[in-house]
Structure 1
């Protein structure tokens, strides 16, 4: 039997193999995860709800099935966490808000049903920025989530608890949601892998909305291979989601490990590589060098009107968010985080013609990204232009960002692909001198997640970052 630390730091793929070969017990591993959460989470604050009796019952059922030869696949018996705005039948789903502090849905979200069919164990509900409306992760009725690499720093949001729980080895994977970067930002800040899939590839049925046409659901894991395994279970047409894509499914892991020689990687430098923290820039230079050494062809590309796209994304986001919450704001004006409420009310400032113009600009954005992705196979960018700030910090020391709320510097490089719906993968690229993780982002053509995983895996292997030791509160190094 493996020791507790070694057991919990296994990748999802590794623990799945041990379960399939009956070398590890899902019951024992889940029990150790619950002990780990009890030990670590009071400091990090990633979890909102855990039903230990239910969790252990699911683990026992999975173990019995595996022992009986009814193995369901790589998620069977594996503990997965859920962002706390993904509905779970008979388990609280709070949205990070006091308005829903005791809300218990009557249904499971479609993604939860898929996880259950695959034999996964739902280990608990994970903290989120209130109603997912913020990329900092420090505004929730349950309090801020703390970064496992430095407890004074923010995790990023809004999938804050999901990133921290995976990063600190409290589960083997988690689901997050992403409207302007809410999977990829906390993935970058917490040193894990996060995928925002193609819009419509993963069902949003049973997931509390922020923006109907910008929201995505996706996987968060410690490795690229794990991420592909989790996404594979989540994908597929869902008639309950009006935005769901009816496309032929593929094995998104099929290209992992294949050579990337000759693959063209584009650098859209006019927007994505300006105003970067110096260590983020150095990290990207290292990532570019690794891809070159692996045989990729690096080319510069141009997306002409990207600044305009970023502004149009804001118009749609604030308008949709206000529409989602308008009646709730009127009925319960005092039950909001002040910052979230203030941001919601900016939706009143948007004029109808501005929303219509934003929809037209979205079409232009899709065309310009498509043109760039005809020249190259993928785009490579930083995930976030800055390092993780202190919890409750609202300004950064890069001059061009000082006159705006910190949210816009955090979301700057992730929001454009919520606008276009293109798949985007964030993975760790290095750690800064102070130990904080830095992330790189790969952007692909619609439904080209398999290629992103192929290149992401090559980059992951080439960078060969050493795993952290997870001594809570201590800064980590490569």
Structure 2
């Protein structure tokens, strides 16, 4: 029965609808797997065993009465512990909030529950989502399931690990400079950052109001579309939320990519890339061409200034949130966060305003460059994951830029997908990134799904035994 845990949301949802699988049975399987492997992987901060079983019983009763809420009915899902869960502690990965119990769910969490998803637990993260490795000094470092001596990426590292190892069918993550996509790439799963404003951020600890996104993390692209279909939608509680009512989910996969034009800006995408990672990415490009896509060179003028602006925006906005907490609890923060806050305090109001102006101009320029182009492509991660414990606090602030090419989509606010595209010679996963124009989320998912269907890298997750051997040694 444990094989069920590596099936897709779509296929298991169908079994639940046909009453072949029960939500209670499935939830107990997930909880059993967490008990077996999470002590070594540290994917969770809080496991919601009682709450999950209670949810499952309600959903099973509905199932027996023929009441199915949708494809997520009875499906165990993890939630990054940056998002509020009613009646269950939400720590933000911080010692400061280790005992905080919210009285409401984050909007994305509530929508998932309303759709029948079972919240199985709160996933580990880099403290307050402010890092790319999920090395957490308070709750333990999450481990990469392909090599538990290495980080899984961050900040949604626990979410990626839970999804990659069958402890959850998917997870809700957050992404300010790549925190959904980078850990997805490094753990061999799928991560999707939607268009800015498409999914409500209400009920989450903010990092940067201008850059934060909430998105799905799954094992397949189509499962990400299923989750996003439920999570999206206008929310008056989130000032950035937009009134867009277009469908995301697609039932049939594209037969090929003929007529799709993909732009590639080599000076940025290949800057700092590991030679083995580059080999994997170029094989993925060849496959995209084989499927019929045309890959053309593109220029992105002003990209370096825009990415510098992202750092300015993010670090100044995060300080504005944390300043009141720092007055009372400065000793409870991790060392890398203290370094970040000092950087943010040195940013002037003029610097911040100029960074936002630079960002606006870059978005306009990029839209012009993407005329006639469906999406940008490149690697998600350009380096393999670090060894746990090797990164000093002073370098941590640049990890997202060192490890991957994800920040580009955040400064733009455009939809971006990471899909597994192969492995290095050391058997560490690599992610292919596809970045679309605003509100072309469905098209980006369809392109990624077509690539994924032609390669089936997702099967490797079921066959991975690295964390199993090491967790029992």
TM norm structure 1? 0.95
In the other structure, the counterpart of 1:452 is: 444
1:391 pairs, out of 364, 388, 391, with 388
CA RMSD of aligned residues (A): 1.7
Q: In the alignment, is residue 467 of structure 1 matched against residue 460 of structure 2?
A: yes
CA shift, 1:140, in A, is 4.3
Q: State the secondary structure of the residue aligned to 2:154.
A: coil
CA shift, 1:298, in A, is 1.2
CA shift, 1:405, in A, is 5.9
Please say if residues 177 and 400 of structure 2, whose CA atoms lie closer than 8 Å, have aligned partners that are also in contact: no
In the other structure, the counterpart of 2:105 is: 108
In the other structure, the counterpart of 1:398 is: none
CA shift, 1:305, in A, is 1.4
Q: In the alignment, is residue 72 of structure 1 matched against residue 64 of structure 2?
A: no
Please say if residues 255 and 453 of structure 1, whose CA atoms lie closer than 8 Å, have aligned partners that are also in contact: no
Instruction: Mark the runs of 5 or more structure 1 residues left unpaired by the alignment.
Output: 396-401
Alignment of 1:217-228 (within 5 A): 217-228=214-225
Q: State the secondary structure of the residue aligned to 1:334.
A: helix
In the other structure, the counterpart of 2:173 is: 176
CA shift, 1:408, in A, is 4.5
Pick closer, same or farther for the CA change 1:304–1:107 going to 2, 3 Å.
same
1:153-173: CA deviations, max 9, x gaps?
Answer: 101110011000001110000
CA shift, 1:263, in A, is 0.6
Please say if residues 93 and 100 of structure 1, whose CA atoms lie closer than 8 Å, have aligned partners that are also in contact: yes
Instruction: Mark the runs of 5 or more structure 2 residues left unpaired by the alignment.
Output: none
1:288-329: CA deviations, max 9, x gaps?
Answer: 111111111111111011111110000001100110101111
Pick closer, same or farther for the CA change 1:86–1:408 going to 2, 3 Å.
closer
Please say if residues 255 and 451 of structure 1, whose CA atoms lie closer than 8 Å, have aligned partners that are also in contact: no
Aligned residues: 467
Pick closer, same or farther for the CA change 1:460–1:304 going to 2, 3 Å.
same
1:306 pairs, out of 303, 308, 311, with 303
CA shift, 1:375, in A, is 3.3
Q: In the alignment, is residue 205 of structure 1 matched against residue 202 of structure 2?
A: yes
Pick closer, same or farther for the CA change 1:263–1:216 going to 2, 3 Å.
same
Alignment of 1:33-432 (within 5 A): 33-253=30-250, 256-394=253-391, 407-410=399-402, 412-432=404-424
Distance 1:246 1:473 in 2: 43
CA shift, 1:255, in A, is 6.6
Structure 1 runs (4+) deviating above 4 angstroms are 402-406
Please say if residues 280 and 438 of structure 1, whose CA atoms lie closer than 8 Å, have aligned partners that are also in contact: yes
In the other structure, the counterpart of 1:399 is: none
TM norm structure 2? 0.96
Q: In the alignment, is residue 434 of structure 1 matched against residue 429 of structure 2?
A: no
CA shift, 1:393, in A, is 2.4
Distance 1:409 1:244 in 2: 27
